[in-house]
Structure 1
């Protein structure tokens, strides 16, 4: 275990967090909010601790999978701890576990909140909540990879640990260049959404905060009734389109912009993702046709909510907790399927679901024709055995963490639907669930134990489970 490189990377994480806090500090200065001074205090602390950790560059800058996964897990925990301090020290969220819950939910792009009156927060705190989504959406360590050279080529392990999906590869030969490309696409899409919202009459502050939340598919509302506050089909429509766009594999965007755009359009995962969205919208629209003034309004809200749930964003325009059971059932299924690998969305991921379904079909065909040899393929390329093994292991760990989270939350004695969807919303980084955790509710009524269980599930879901589990393995900390 190369512990020095882990400390070095965590130091850079804290330095970057200090830099990120300049935005809410600037907002506090613009709106003359005294609580913004806490961002300055934490900013200085993060910078000082980070500088101590990076003062001496390790002689050995090469690291392997173990160091990569541990660095990611510990960095996200440190990021969340220091990120919660301004909310807690300012007194805006007086209980530390609540402040930590809010920030973990932000960085993991979950969007579950303990706040009942978001609008009462100072604007600097509101912007910080939304900005944590943007930071966590692509991954802060991916950003560091784009500026910090690491030796040996093993920094791909960081990208694999922090990027959602069963298979993460390089877009170009160097990982550093790949990280830069990903962030350029991410930034351009965010800026484009900002200008479209601003052009539609939204204030600059609201446009920026909502663009941050949408890009990270996080969904922290800056109004108490989320996107329902903006009674504009145009504004809600823009958010719908961008939620779906940020749920697409960023590798496909790179292919569309490169000399091989057809490869991006032919992606089996992306086509399945868009197909699932289309079918879900159709079924929910038909189910809601008598609940709204006309079918077009039903379509609008169905499209928004499907896009919000499948990408794990969590915004809402109506209280879907009051929808018919069939529509709610579809949304619960979408909570689990999730968006594409290599996107900012949560859930199991469409690519995993596709590969598992293909594996089931292959096994059935092998039973019927024992001597036949079938190769499991995705996008015309064979799926390697280690990828399938990793997916099977992921699903096993996923079921265990989901079950444990569900059992712990059940101790609070809420109804079954609330407990089940809270576990699903936490592990899949969705945000709102159903029942007492519905879109117009909040998570303040849960016990501290349940909140810590949900925080672990949020981190595990965002980091693809394995980095968090490795922290509890004794062999992880052994040298060699």
Structure 2
């Protein structure tokens, strides 16, 4: 009986381990790129990447042998576990080169940096980034790039299937899901990856022609499309503050990363107007245009030349709204009104099915529709009102998901902020740090973690708390919370 029980449990967990081993193999392959760069440049830290690759491949080999005869046929509860465990495990394994080689970070700092990278948050504890080896700069960019494409596939294919946070609105096809979801996910991933690589290549070429050094063009292209925000300088994109053409290119590619990739697929299939007719895209563009206009007028009123004001406002607003987290200027010095505006923008996020974090613009739009419907009901209690979004009727399932996600989104931020304040952080650092972690934005507010600072001086406990916040935000919160319920484990 005991043997059969162990076998039954193994058959439940083996498919999960097999999927994880495939993801770890992909990680090892990409880890080999900076390793080869370091070997070519005869950098002493090449061994650190080599050893890290060896550790990851050993885990892959053990997992592959153990699950050799196991088929990948995942049920919904297994998909919840795969989604969470993949991001947690990759965050830890990605930190190995940072621990073993220069800058020889502590385990806490290395995990914080790598989790920030794969979740495309962009918060950093590193100082003197300009002095890092080319291989390590490249690795920081690759981690964010991998996280970005993973986020897109998760947002398009996995989360709608799991009915998380109202994402069912963006179900890519009308056909039903079977329990064997991986083949369909694979088709979506292939199309998404092709577009993602194409956009990244275009960004690399554009940055290089715009005046960036080749390595900087490669890294910034990857982190722009991933809306991650890691740069090759402590000054972030401010290193190019005197080159407006690069700021405008950065704004364009961040915005491209924040739009729904499923709509890019539809455009390539012939539906050329689907991108511009999408209610979510329209809402994002209207928001960006309105905020940029108001802040530009504000900066001009303070005495900044019009073109300079417009350039930096557009860049920084797009960076924060898309949760990229680049900074071309310390916008907390633009006055209290601008600081408050940027704090509000931290929560917004880009579109569903993009690389952006945050609440996503569609949830704000759905909430407004629900508010209007409720106001109509108060005036006409016997009336029947049907709310539609992108031509689809808003079902109870979608509205429940949006309401539940929104509640736990802000509850998570409140809990993290309280925890950070108990560690001695001031209220601005605690609140903005919690918000920027859960929204996956990157920089917070204030002198410590603001656009001109970093997270290095925070206590280790605060870094672990923020790392958890980054993962929860990236996984749409409910994906993690469901694992904490006894009902889930009874399955």
TM range (shorter): over 0.9
Alignment equivalent of 1:175, drawn from 182, 185, 188: 185
Instruction: State the partner residue of 2:354.
Output: 343
In structure 2, distance between residues paired with 1:351 and 1:159: 14
Judged with a 3 Å threshold, the aligned counterparts in structure 2 of structure 1 residues 164 and 92 are, in CA distance, closer, same or farther, namely farther
Given the superposition, is the C-alpha separation of residues 195 and 202 from structure 1 closer, same or farther in structure 2, using an over 3 Å criterion? Answer: same
Whether 1:221 and 2:231 are equivalent positions in the alignment is yes
Distance 1:247 1:34, change over 3 A: same
Number of aligned pairs?
Answer: 469
SS at match of 2:253: helix
SS in 2 for 1:439: coil
Paired position in structure 1 for 2:21: 11
Are the aligned partners of 1:247 and 1:343 in contact in 2 as well (CA < 8 Å)?
yes
Tell me, yes or no, if the aligned pair for 1:106 and 1:133 is still in contact at 8 Å. Answer: yes
Aligned partner (choices 21, 30, 54) of residue 44 of structure 1: 54
> 1:340-389 deviations in whole A, cap 9, x for unaligned?
11110110000111001101111111111111111111112112211111
After superposition, the Cα gap between the structure-2 partners of 1:162 and 1:220, relative to the gap in structure 1 and judged at 3 Å, is farther
* Preserved CA contact (<8 Å) 2:153 2:188: no
- Offset of residue 411 of structure 1: 2.2
Change (3 A) 1:303 1:33: same
Q: Does residue 120 of the first structure (1) align with residue 122 of the second (2)?
A: no
> Which residue of 391, 401, 404 maps to 2:415?
404
- 3-state secondary structure, aligned to 1:139: helix
User: 2: CA distance between counterparts of 1:161 and 1:463?
Assistant: 12
- Listed as ranges, the matches of 1:36-435 within 5 Å are 36-55=46-65, 56-139=67-150, 142=153, 156-157=157-158, 166-167=167-168, 168-170=170-172, 174-230=184-240, 231-291=242-302, 293-435=304-446
The answer to whether the Cα contact below 8 Å between 1:428 and 1:461 also exists between their aligned partners in 2 is: yes
Quote the offset at 1:261 in angstroms.
1.8
Deviation at 1:205, TM superposition (A): 0.7
Ranges in structure 1 where 5+ consecutive residues have no aligned partner: 146-154
Q: Secondary structure at the match of 1:68?
A: helix
Deviation at residue 161 of structure 1 after TM alignment: 6.5
Alignment partner, residue 178 of structure 2: none
Q: Say if 1:291 and 1:162 are closer, same or farther in 2 by CA, change over 3 A.
A: farther
RMSD: 2.2
Q: Counterparts of 1:29 and 1:91 in 2: how far apart (Å)? A: 15
Secondary structure, aligned partner of 2:472: helix
- Superposition deviation, residue 244 in structure 1: 1.1
Which digits, 9 at most, give the CA deviation of each residue in 1:182-236, with x for residues without a partner? 1111111111010011111211111000011111101012111111112311111
Give the Cα–Cα distance (whole angstroms) in 1 for the partners of residues 151 and 314 of structure 2: 30
Q: Secondary structure at the match of 1:395?
A: helix
Residues 162 and 463 of structure 1 are in contact (CA less than 8 Å); yes or no, is this contact kept in structure 2? no
With normalisation by structure 2, the TM-score equals 0.91
Which whole-Å deviations, capped at 9, do the CAs of 1:447-480 have from their partners, x for residues lacking one? 11111110011001111112222333334334x4
Counterparts of 1:237 and 1:53, CA distance in 2: 46
SS for the counterpart of 1:336 is: coil
1:150 corresponding residue in structure 2: none
Alignment partners' CA distance in 2, 1:186 and 1:21: 19
Could you list the per-position Cα deviations for residues 384-442 of structure 1 after superposition, in whole angstroms to 9, with x for gaps in the alignment?
Answer: 21111111111222122111110111123333222211111000000001102111101
CA 1:446–1:165: 2 relative to 1, 3 Å: farther
Go from structure 1 to structure 2 and tell me whether the alpha carbon gap of 1:417 and 1:179 turns closer, same or farther (over 3 Å shift). Answer: same
Per the alignment, in what secondary structure is the counterpart of residue 289 of structure 1?
helix
Q: Are 1:452 and 2:453 matched, yes or no?
A: no
* TM-score, normalised via structure 1 length: 0.93
Report the more deviating stretch, 379-388 or 78-87: 379-388
- Given that 1:7 and 1:53 are in contact with CA atoms closer than 8 Å, whether structure 2 keeps it comes out as yes
Shift of 1:293: 4.2
Inter-partner Cα distance in structure 2 for 1:346 and 1:292: 33
Q: How far 1:309 moved relative to its partner?
A: 0.2
- The answer to whether the 8 A contact 1:105-1:458 is kept is yes
After superposition, give the CA deviation of every residue in 1:282-330 in whole Å (9 maximum; x if it has no partner): 1110111144541111010000000100000111111112111111222
Contact 1:172–1:178 (8 Å) recurs in 2: no
Pick closer, same or farther for the CA change 1:52–1:292 going to 2, 3 Å: farther
